[in-house]
Each structure stands twice: as C-alpha cells, then as structure tokens.
Chain A
Amino acid sequence: MEYYHSPDSIKDALSMAREFDGNFIYFAGGTDVQIYRKQKLEKNEHIIDLKSIQDLNSISMKDEVLSLGAMTPLDDIIKSKEIQNYFPLLMEAAKSVATPVIRKTATIGGNLLVRNRCTFYNQSQEWRNGVGSCLRDVGDICQVTGGNNDCYSRNVSDTAAALIALNAEITLINSNEMTQKPLKDIYLPCGIKFHDLDNKNILTQIHVPFRPKKWWYKKLRVRKTLDFTSLTIAATVDNDDMARICLNGVSMAPILIEESLDTLTIESLIKQARKNCKTVDNDLMPLKYRREMINVFLEEWWEYEHHK
C-alpha cells in the first residue's frame, strides 16, 4: 500500500516523519523521485509532499545575502531579476537543468539532493532483472567495476556545482534544532549514501553570501535539453583572486578545487581534477571522452579567466 500526505508546515512534516519511522520519502517537486517509484527503486509506503509548505517557497535578498526557500521552483530562480542581476551563475545552472516544463515543478532543494545516477541502476526493473542488479539495488557487485565494496554512481546536481562555487550555505531543521552548514559539507564520496542528511532533517533554506568578480559555467550532455549532466563545471573568482572550481557529474560527490590564481597553473588544476574525480564508465558518454572533456572544459575556463 502507498499513502500520500501533504503537510502544510515543517512541524507537521517532521511529525509525520517520526510517525512513519523511515518508511517514507519526501517529495519536493517530485520530478525525479516519481521515476524512482515507477522503476521500483524507491519502495517506501508513505509520500510526504512538501509542496504545500508555503514558507519554503521564497527568494529574498538581505544584506547582500541571497536566501532561497528549498521548495522554490527552478523556473522562479531563472526568472528572478535579483538572481539574473547578482547571481547569473546560479541562473545559468538552474536553466541547464531538465526542460522548461519540468523546471516549473522541480525545485532547488530537490535538485541539490537529487539522487546519484548510474547507467546500470537508473533502469526499469525488467532491465535490471535482465542485466543483473547492482550492489546499490539488491545485487552484490558493482556492474561497472565488478567490485563488491564501492558504488561509483555520479552526483548530477548542476545547481550544487554552482552553489558550491558560490560558497553557499544551507539551513536544516529537525524536531530539536535548526543548523546551518556549508553546502559542500553535506556530500559524501559514496554512490549509495551520497549525502549525510538523514530523513529527520528537512532542508529549508539556501543562502548565497558571495558575489564573485568573475564566473564561468558549462555543462556537457548528450542533448542540449533534458539530459542529466555528463560533466558540469562551475567556477568563480573573488576580489582576492581566489578561484573556486567545482566539478560535478564525474564523481560520487561534487569536487571542489579552491586555490589562488597566483599559485594555480592549468597543469596543476587538471592534475588535481583528474586525481579527485573517481570517474568510471557509468554514463551514456564513453569514459575516455568524459575524462578528456574535463581537460577541455578546464582549459576553456583557464583561457576565459586569463583573457584580457
């Protein structure tokens, strides 16, 4: 049996979460999670739909800090004049997610916590039965590497790359307290448990304090629309020439490289990126091509950054 619940406050949502004791899934926009349910990759009985919680859908600027409610649709972010003017990197990232219609439902919070993807996992049950289930599903080996310990499914959040490059923080609420932490700290380098939030917490707000001097964003995907990323790079440079380059779609968690432009060289940047990205053959694009594109994108950014 499946049950749908639509609380209208965070308190009610948390109280339902306690009552259902892990046997539930939160819906933000639900555009990704619905597919997991259809593919029988998500089998919890209860759906807690956060859509009716009005407090979570907002865009505001105070003391030059942008605050976004986690349930703000991506389309609202793209159309916000404040974000267009002051945080164009975030706008570009939001605009590169899915399709225009999906972006009217999909939310920023949902995109930040989007589940990791792999070509051997994100398939119908029939497909998985035919090929063999992987260790993230009910099998005991990784279908990509043949190993039995690690899952290398990829984090595919485009907005996470942008917001980490923008040094964003998030607010989490559970029944006892409200905590704030850097967004980059929630991601874990594991394809199965890809963030450290348990379901007793609700992501409520995203705060962006930092307006970079320069920014750059690029996403690699099969088509120019709909597809999840094969490689996303978001980069910012602040007034002190500190660069923050975030790569996503090529490893289990977003990879952040932070270094001053005074010491950074393109060779060391590529070396760090290639070393930190645990890229395996789990995407539609071939592994060799995706690895090569890391170099290509970073060189493009480097050229853009040093172009006078």
Chain B
Amino acid sequence: MEKVTLTVNGFTQSVLVESHETILDTLRNRLNLTGTKKCCDEGTCGSCTILMDGKPVLGCLTPTLRCVGKEILTIEGISSGESLHLVQKHLVKSLGLQCGFCTPGVVMTAIPFLEENPHASRNEIKESLSGNLCRCTGYKKIIDAVENAAEEMRS
C-alpha cells in the first residue's frame, strides 16, 4: 500500500491505496464517493467518467497514482448544495434519465464538452456522448437535455 495525497472536489486528503488501483476504486471504496458508477470496468460504457484537471477521463482506466497532484472532480462536486448544474437540471426536466446509473457519466462528459464547445450542434453533442451507454432512455432525451442546457448556458 502507498500513502498518497489526493485533491477531490476541492478537498485534499491522504489515503492508502494499492499501487495498481484505479481512481474509480479509490473514489468508491476508500473515499465513499459512490456517485461515480462502476459498470463495465473496461472503458466501454462511460459510467465512471470524472474530471482530472478539467478534462474528462474514465475512472476505471486511470491509475490512482496518476491522479496525485491533480484536481479531481466527481459528480458529488458538481452541484452547489441543492442547486443543480444546468446539465443536471435539464436532464431532470427533459426526462433524460430512468434508472440513473449512466447519468453521472453523462453529466461529467457533457459539462466539459459544453464549456469547450458552447455552440455545439446536435450532431456534435451526439458524438461527444458516444462513449456513454444508456440502456433505458434510447438517448434522444439525453441529447435533448444537453442541447437545452447548451442553449441556456449561451443565453
């Protein structure tokens, strides 16, 4: 085990981790941040997407030791109190979730994408979310939600 210092959602803390551990397992099992979901565990579904220094990465493929000295942001750090982020708000409003398992990954993929591409077209939004699998919604309502969030972000 190695003692490392991680900055997650603005809080810096020391934690003991295995050398080969992924940040997904560290977040869920050692820091009790279970909002980031473990699904395929092989980079296929996008459920474990988190932000590392503002860039989306897949938690299941990222070694925890690679995250030392970086700012990690998870779904728990996105909303401020009860006030949801615009992407979250529109996912609720457009019924862009059913079971909700893929939703944290969708939110964590959509936010940096919209920040970088505020004028993204519907097709560009679709492509940006192409690594996020959802078994419930059929995607249309997710795309609608992100498109609506983009529109509100621009206004």
A11 within 8 A of B: no
Task: Indicate if the CB atoms of A102 and B43 lie closer than 8 Å.
Answer: yes
Question: What is the 8 Å Cβ interface bit string for chain B, positions 19-59, against chain A (1 contact, 0 not)?
Answer: 11010000000000000000001111010010000011110
Question: What is the 8 Å Cβ interface bit string for chain A, positions 103-120, against chain B (1 contact, 0 not)?
Answer: 011000000000000000
Task: Tell which of B20, B41, B57, B63 touches A101, judged by Cβ atoms closer than 8 Å.
Answer: B57
Given A35-B43, A37-B20, A101-B49 in contact, is the A226-B65 Cβ separation under 8 Å? no
Residues of B within 8 A of A2 (CB): 18-20
Q: How large is the interface on A (under 10, 10 to 19, 20 to 34, 35 or more residues)?
A: 20 to 34
Q: Of residues B46, B63, B127, which shows the largest number of chain A Cβ atoms within 10 Å of its Cβ? A: B63
A30 within 8 A of B: yes
Alpha-carbon separation in the docked complex, A187 to B22 (Å):
31
A-B contact pairs, 18 of them (CB 8 A): A1-B19, A2-B19, A6-B66, A31-B61, A34-B22, A34-B60, A35-B61, A37-B20, A47-B19, A47-B63, A51-B66, A100-B128, A100-B130, A101-B46, A101-B58, A102-B58, A225-B127, A226-B44
When A and B form their complex, which 10 residue pairs have the shortest distance between CB atoms, in order from nearest?
A: A99-B131, A225-B130, A2-B20, A4-B65, A34-B61, A4-B19, A101-B56, A35-B42, A101-B131, A2-B19
Residues of B within 8 A of A39 (CB): 42
Chain B residue at smallest Cβ distance from A75? B55
Chain B, interface SS category: mixed
Task: Indicate if the CB atoms of A4 and B128 lie closer than 8 Å.
Answer: no
Q: Of residues B41, B43, B65, which shows the largest number of chain A Cβ atoms within 10 Å of its Cβ? A: B43
Task: Indicate if the CB atoms of B44 and A47 lie closer than 8 Å.
Answer: no
Alpha-carbon separation in the docked complex, A30 to B23 (Å):
13
Residues of A within 8 A of B41 (CB): 38
Alpha-carbon separation in the docked complex, A239 to B41 (Å):
48
Q: How far is the CB of A265 from chain B (nearest CB, A)?
A: 38
A98 within 8 A of B: yes
Task: Indicate if the CB atoms of A104 and B63 lie closer than 8 Å.
Answer: no
Task: Indicate if the CB atoms of B130 and A4 lie closer than 8 Å.
Answer: no
Task: Indicate if the CB atoms of A99 and B130 lie closer than 8 Å.
Answer: yes
Q: How large is the interface on B (under 10, 10 to 19, 20 to 34, 35 or more residues)?
A: 20 to 34
Interface positions, chain B 62-97, Cβ under 8 Å from A, are 62-63, 65-66
Residues of B within 8 A of A35 (CB): 42-43, 61
Residues of B within 8 A of A101 (CB): 46, 49, 56-58, 109, 131
Chain B residue at smallest Cβ distance from A100? B128
Q: Give the B-binding residues of A (Cβ under 8 A).
A: 1-4, 6, 27, 30-31, 34-35, 37-39, 47, 49, 51, 98-102, 104-105, 224-226
Q: How far is the CB of A95 from chain B (nearest CB, A)?
A: 9
Task: Indicate if the CB atoms of B18 and A226 lie closer than 8 Å.
Answer: no
Alpha-carbon separation in the docked complex, A37 to B19 (Å):
13
Q: How far is the CB of A38 from chain B (nearest CB, A)?
A: 6
Question: What is the 8 Å Cβ interface bit string for chain B, positions 110-140, against chain A (1 contact, 0 not)?
Answer: 0001000000000000011011000000000
Q: How far is the CB of A270 from chain B (nearest CB, A)?
A: 32
Q: How far is the CB of A39 from chain B (nearest CB, A)?
A: 8
Residues of B within 8 A of A3 (CB): 19
Alpha-carbon separation in the docked complex, A105 to B66 (Å):
12
Task: Tell which of A30, A38, A47, A99 touches B42, judged by Cβ atoms closer than 8 Å.
Answer: A38
